[in-house]
Amino acid sequence: MPLSTDQQAEIDQARDGAQKTLRPVAPALEEILYRALPVLDHGFVRVVDYMGDDAAVVQAARVSYGRGTKKVSEDRGLINYLMRHRHTTPFEMCEIKYHVKLPIFVARQWIRHRTANVNEYSARYSILDNEFYLPQPEQLAAQSKANRQGRDAVLTGKEAERVFSLLRKDAELAYEHYMEMLNEGADGAPLDPERSGLARELARMNLSLAFYTQWYWKTNLHNLMHFLSLRADAHAQYEIRVYADVMIDTLKRWCPICADAFLEYRMGGAHLSRTGLAAVKRMIAGEKVDQKSSGLNPREWRELLASLGLDG
């Protein structure tokens, strides 16, 4: 269950308490505001607050008064220009806050993006739920021999069964020992009155990175798009990429024109080095270019061919 009873009650209360506002709102984002969008087996992403919209980006770029131009086409043209030429400060005028439930190992990747405000659930003060991540069978893959950060063929048969068994048993045993060390029931009373429980800040260290944590994560539109450009990329680890995919949908609902520009110029585009651009120009001119004559190293050459949709 991704949400506790108390969390669901809080969401229902917030959604039932709609109020009028003079602030700009994003109708499509309002439709899912506060709702938990499921990710992985126990995780979720939910938008809990936001400020600004496409018009705020336009207004900041023009430093004008009011809501900007009356023509959406003009706003779109300006936003495309800003995105294309990497004029980032207007995008910093919009902010969004998420509540995210995610495995601890995903959180440790995520926290590398240091341009957000983060407040995480503290296992020093609270007891973590008995919820841990188990990959789907199609995600249980061997280590790639070519890429230290990548995966290879999917494990099957007895080998896969053994790995699943280890993952589950280790997590269950770790949580069992965690609760034993805490010696604390749901009401806070000792489970065994004859002994003291270990401090929560110490008992937590026995839990694995597969257990779930939660945090509030607030960032501006520019830094959100930077995060998504890295974590929604096909090369990103699957378990963080699925969170980024859900967040792209929230971006489309929040600032659709900015989202279109982001997908067009950042996610759907390609950045070429000076040497790579020169190689493309030679190809266009009809010259036969290979990796050695291109001036690119083998990995750069493979990446260039992939971006052009060409065979190596």
Catalytic residue among 231, 241, 282, 302: 231
Q: What does the alpha-carbon distance between residue 301 and residue 276 come to, in Å, rounded to a whole number?
A: 8
What is the sign, positive or negative, of the torsion defined by CA atoms of 108, 208, 126, 98? positive
| Cβ atoms of 251 and 224 closer than 8 Å | yes
Q: From CA 72, how far away is CA 79, in angstroms rounded?
A: 10
Measured distance CA(241)–CA(230) in Å, rounded: 9
Q: In terms of Cα–Cα distance, which of 98, 79, 92, 78 is closest to 262?
A: 79
| φ and ψ of 179, to 5 deg | -70, -35
Catalytic residue flag (residue 231): yes
Map tokens 């110029």 to a residue: 265
The residues assigned a catalytic role are 231
